[in-house]
């Protein structure tokens, strides 16, 4: 994604945060893994810089949310992706101290 307009150069707005995983218990007591790919789209230049510098804090916040969501999975039911996205957006806003960074949810796998 590119930001800006007019005749100037383009600026990258995407920040890849990475993949987070958490374990959970599936039906029959088997272990499962929840894997979530995460990223951000940040158009504001100052907030983009702040988000890039806060990547380790964002990963930690995302890991907490994903671990909590994985712990709430029941049996072989799929994760509630809408809820997961809402909670990860809230974690983004809280970690950065403001809104304006759009959380992007990539692949979500529960296996």
pLDDT in tens, 12-51: 999 999 999 999 988 888 899 999 999 999 999 999 999 9
Report the mean per-residue pLDDT for the chain: 91
Query: pTM for this one?
Result: 0.87
List the one residue out of 64, 60, 62, 73 whose CA is nearest residue 33.
73
* pLDDT at position 9: 57
Q: What angle do CA 22, 23, 27 make, to 5 degrees?
A: 140
What is the C-alpha separation between 107 and 7, in angstroms, rounded?
35
């Amino acid at each position: 994604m590119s930001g800006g307009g007019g005749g100037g150069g383009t600026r990258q707005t995407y920040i890849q945060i990475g993949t987070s995983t958490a374990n959970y218990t599936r039906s029959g007591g088997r272990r499962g893994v929840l894997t979530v790919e995460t990223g951000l789209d940040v158009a504001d230049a100052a907030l983009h810089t702040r988000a890039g510098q806060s990547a380790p804090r964002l990963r930690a916040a995302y890991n907490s949310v994903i671990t909590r969501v994985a712990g709430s999975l029941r049996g072989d039911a799929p994760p509630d992706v809408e809820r997961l996205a809402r909670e990860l957006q809230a974690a983004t806003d809280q970690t950065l101290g403001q809104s304006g960074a759009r959380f992007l949810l990539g692949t979500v796998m529960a296996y």
